[in-house]
Amino acid sequence: MSDPPKKKKRPFWRKKYRRSTRAGEHRPVLIAEVLAALDPQPGQTVVDCTIGFAGHALELLKRVGPDGVLIATDLDPANIEPARLKLDAAGGLFAVHHANFAGLPHVLAAEGVAGVDGLLADLGMSSMQVDDRGRGFSFMRDGPLDMRMDPTRGRTAADLLNTLPAADLAAAFRDLGDEPKADAVAAAVVEYRKSKPIERTKELRGLIEQAAPVQLDRTPGAPPERKQLLLPLTRVFQALRILVNRELANLQQLLRVLPGILKPGGTVALISFHSGEDRLIKAALRDGFRAGIYDRVSDDPVRPAIEEKRENPRSRSAKLRWARRAK
């Protein structure tokens, strides 16, 4: 009698990743550091450009209340009502808008606000978006390749994958995702779509794994849990999400309008999770400081403490930069 077949062991990296995506769910990133940078005071007007689960917004509202005002926006309509209910339960003066923060001056004009004392933009995705397989953000969950922050408008990830030339796809994977094998992944996408359209995350994952296999991280001193990385998958999915939502263009617009939004002495805090975002923020704040628009800027990005990284893996790549408008 033959032995029963052994259950196939799941790869170490996959088990580790799945645990880490659930840990720290819904926790606002760098909350203590954000509050220290913005220093919100009673009676002030503050903005949360990316309300998400309202974790940052709730703390801001508590500190500016009871007479201060919080104005919040989010591009994802699914976040609006849950956030509004949380803020309503907390009490205080607030307004929540389904809007792109690139159009923040229009939101403020609609609220009759000429300037604000503090502004926060957390540029990362929420765990709710990642966990919803129907949104297509995660390569760990099979679903339609959508990736739109606002699913009511714009082209989906599938639309772009099935129509853009190989050169454009490779440029996106390389420039927006820092993927070394961008050309190989783009070529695999174009070859695959000759026979059928790419419609689901598992299809794209398979193409990436074939064109850019997972490599061992042999960097001296790398911790054991980082010895095997999912970088090609994360890089390409990240690049595609940024492309779909025009995230860098929206950030550039926000950085352009910031000086006209902040009151003299007002402070901005920006949390990025991608090197391209951080470069844009660093350059804009530095140039504003040299031009006398800001009188103080953070010298280096503020990073999460070890404890936060352990408790909330989403925070690991977070970088906070801040600046104060000259008086």
Q: Which CATH superfamily is domain 28-122+248-325 in?
A: Vaccinia Virus protein VP39 (3.40.50.150)
Who wins on pLDDT, 319 or 132? 319
**Predicted pLDDT of residue 231:** 86
pLDDT in tens, 50-73: 999 999 999 999 999 999 999 999
Buried b (16+ CB within 10 A) or exposed e, 242-258: bbbbebbebbebbbeeb
Average pLDDT, the chain: 89
Looking at residue 21, what is its pLDDT?
37
For strand 93-98 and strand 116-122, is the pairing parallel, antiparallel, or unpaired? Answer: unpaired
pTM, rounded to two decimals: 0.85
Which tens digits make up the pLDDT trace of 87-112?
A: 999 999 999 999 999 999 999 999 99
For residue 296, give the amino acid letter: R
Domain spans of the chain, in order of start: 28-122+248-325, 145-245
Residue 203 CA: distances (Å) to CA of 73, 148, 176, 198, 235:
33, 18, 21, 6, 16
145-245 fold: DNA polymerase; domain 1 (1.10.150)
- pLDDT category at 26 given cuts 50, 70, 90 is low
